[in-house]
A and B are shown apart, each in its own frame.
Chain A
Amino acid sequence: MLKYLIKRLLQAVPLLLLITILCFVLIDLAPYDAMDAKVTDKMTPAMIEQMREEAGLNDPLPVQYLRWLKNLLKGDLGQSLINKTDIATDLKEKIPNTIKLVLPSYITAFLLAIGLGLLAGRYKNTWVDKLINSLASIGLAVPTFFVALLFIYYFGLKLDLFPVMGMNSLGEDSFEDFLHHLVMPYSVLVIGFLPDLTRYVRSSTITQFDEDYVTVQKAFGSSAGTILLRHVSKNVLLPMITKLGMALPMLVTGAVITETVFAWPGIGVYFTNAIRSLDYPIVMAVLVLSGTLVILGNLISDILCAVIDPRIRVGR
Chain B
Amino acid sequence: MSDIHMQIDGKEVIAKKGDTLLEAAKRADISIPTLCYHEKLKPYGACRLCLVEAEKNGRTKLVVSCVYQAEKNLKVRTRSKKIDKIRKTLLELLLARAPDAPIIQDMAREYGAEKDRFQQQASFCVHCGLCVRYCAEVKKKNAIGFIDRGIRKEISFIPEIAARECESCKECFPLCPTSYLQAAYVLVKGLTFLPEPPDPQVDLLDQGMEQGNEKK
Q: Do A and B bind each other?
A: no
**B interface residue numbers (CB < 8 A to A):** none
